[in-house]
Amino acid sequence: MSFQILISDPLSEEGIHPLRQTDNMEITVATGQSEEELLSNIEQYDALLVRSQTQVTKEVIQKGKNLKVIGRAGVGVDNIDLDAATEHGVIVVNAPDGNTNSAAEHTIAMLMSLARKIPQAFYSLKQQKWDRKSYVGVELKGKTLGIVGLGRIGAEVAYRAKGQRLNVVAYDPYLTEERADKMGIQCATLEEVLHQADFITVHTPLLKATKHIINDDAFKQMKPGVQIINCARGGIIDEDALYRAILDGKVAGAALDVFEEEPLQNFHLLELPEVIATPHLGASTVEAQENVAIDVSHDVINILNGGVARNPVNLPSLPAEVMKRIEPYFNLSEKLGTFVAHIAKEAVEEVNIYYSGDLTEHDVTPLTRNTVKGILKRFLGEHVNDVNATYFADKKDITINEQKTSVTKGFTNLLTVEVKTRNGFAKVAGTLLNGLGTRIVKVDTYSVDVVPTGNLVLIRHKDQPGAIGRVGSLLAQFDVNIATMQVGRSDVGGDAIMMLTVDRQIDEDVLVDLKEVTDIYDVTPIDL
């Protein structure tokens, strides 16, 4: 199967080399398109690769009926409507590591340039002036650098700042004292950072909670003569408040690589001699441009070919070692979800998933999501996938419960899926056997040993002599070959089940005749 990929922003040719080397990828590079042009041709593409120029709006995603993945060659995804992508089952991936080094280096370069007034001095020299007195700077050694946001880039800035013999104090809602101690920095509140720092650099994403986090009130809490750096996202710092703080003398200097509106239209901040700036160059190195495109290209290839993304934005991400442990259970979890949806037959109101054995040691959120996908595809269709499964479950008011238990019932690992409908419960359990693959080991209260693949038929019947023979004879009349058969019963002469694997789907007329066989209560075809 061939996949169509649109690259709508300039990307490094080296970066998209993995795509060009993959046989089933057909690439179209069309940069500088208007929104109307993008809307008119997006429908034919399976993947869209962008940087920050292309605005991937709700309308674009709705029009992209074949879109399976949107790749952002960079960190931020401000230009992509994540809610619309999630609703339509489109995975959004980015490259959080590819430009980390470049962005951190640029931050340190801006910090040192700010401290030593290098751009202003250079501009003066360009005017053929020899003015040494106006550009006396300050040393970094012994000063305090406050970092707001200690993610990948913030942490790299902290490491480099320690090399400049700066004291580092950092605020991040997820920063622990233990991690701060290991890094040799101080863990602090936002207010403590504002009070203590001689230099403040921001490295948070732009969210509702972080928009204008550095505002008039924040500037009031800072030391007189503080200097500000923003190489993260425009909008984290209130630019009007910064302008006022510089005029008031509270802020001695600011170094800005990003702005609230880009390309920059209002140059009032740059008219101040205390401000130095670059036009969003944090990731503008040859290496970074190659790295982010390479990372996104590999994720796009993996997703289109049925694999797992390393850097999904609208899916919870797990460490590689955890994903490696749980990945063998992906097929089992979806199959169990599909199976239990078939035998439930009605709309599901509640899903209970029980993990036991080795599985309890890991984060199993992706398996839960995969199970819910298997259930909902039965009722809502093939457009349900890993991205939007829990979204649709929420929309349908389906409660999802995930539990871990030490009870393994003799298995190294056991995954049990139970669904509640308005008329009762249905349950199935499965495991992964070393060297033998996935197995269904329980259906409701009956023990079985069934490979969850192909065309299955679940028959509920009374445990009486001749029941199996009658089923086999009838299927033979319709030229339906039985590949495997499993039976389970509660007690002699009581209720029982018969699980068949057949070579083709059972036609409706065959089902009707099977249901009329003596002592058969119900027949359920299951397509796995």
DSSP state of 359: G
Length of the chain: 528
Residue 492 · residue 448 · CB < 8 Å:
no
The residues that bridge with 4 in the sheet, in sequence order, are: 26
Cis check for the bond before 319: say yes or no (omega within 30 of 0).
no
Tokens of 206: 């732009």
- Exposure string (b/e) for 462-496, b if CB count within 10 Å is 16 or more? ebeeebbebbeebbeeeebeeeebbbbbeeeeebb
Helix (H) or strand (E) run with residue 41 in it: helix 35-41
| Number of Cβ within a 10 Å radius of residue 133 | 5
| Number of Cβ within a 10 Å radius of residue 269 | 18
Cβ neighbours for 102, distance < 8 A, ≥ 6 positions apart: 282, 283, 284, 285, 287, 288
Helix (H) or strand (E) run with residue 251 in it: strand 251-256
- Exposure string (b/e) for 17-56, b if CB count within 10 Å is 16 or more? ebbeebeebebeeeeebeeeebbeebeebbbbbbbbebeb
C-alpha to C-alpha distance for 33 and 53, rounded to whole angstroms: 10
Amino acid residing at 116: R
Active-site annotation, residues: 233, 262, 280
DSSP string, 380-407: H-TT--TTTHHHHHHHTT-EEEEEEES-
- Gyration radius of the chain over CA positions: 30
Q: Cα dist. 198→111, 202, 239, 276, 476 in Å?
A: 11, 13, 19, 17, 85
Cβ neighbours for 30, distance < 8 A, ≥ 6 positions apart: 6, 7, 8, 37, 41
Cβ neighbours for 88, distance < 8 A, ≥ 6 positions apart: 61, 62, 64, 67, 383, 388
Handedness of CA 310, 314, 319, 324 (dihedral sign): negative
DSSP string, 263-332: S----TGGGSTTEEE-SS-TT-SHHHHHHHHHHHHHHHHHHHTT---SSBSSS----HHHHHHHGGGHHH
Place of tokens 């690992």: 413
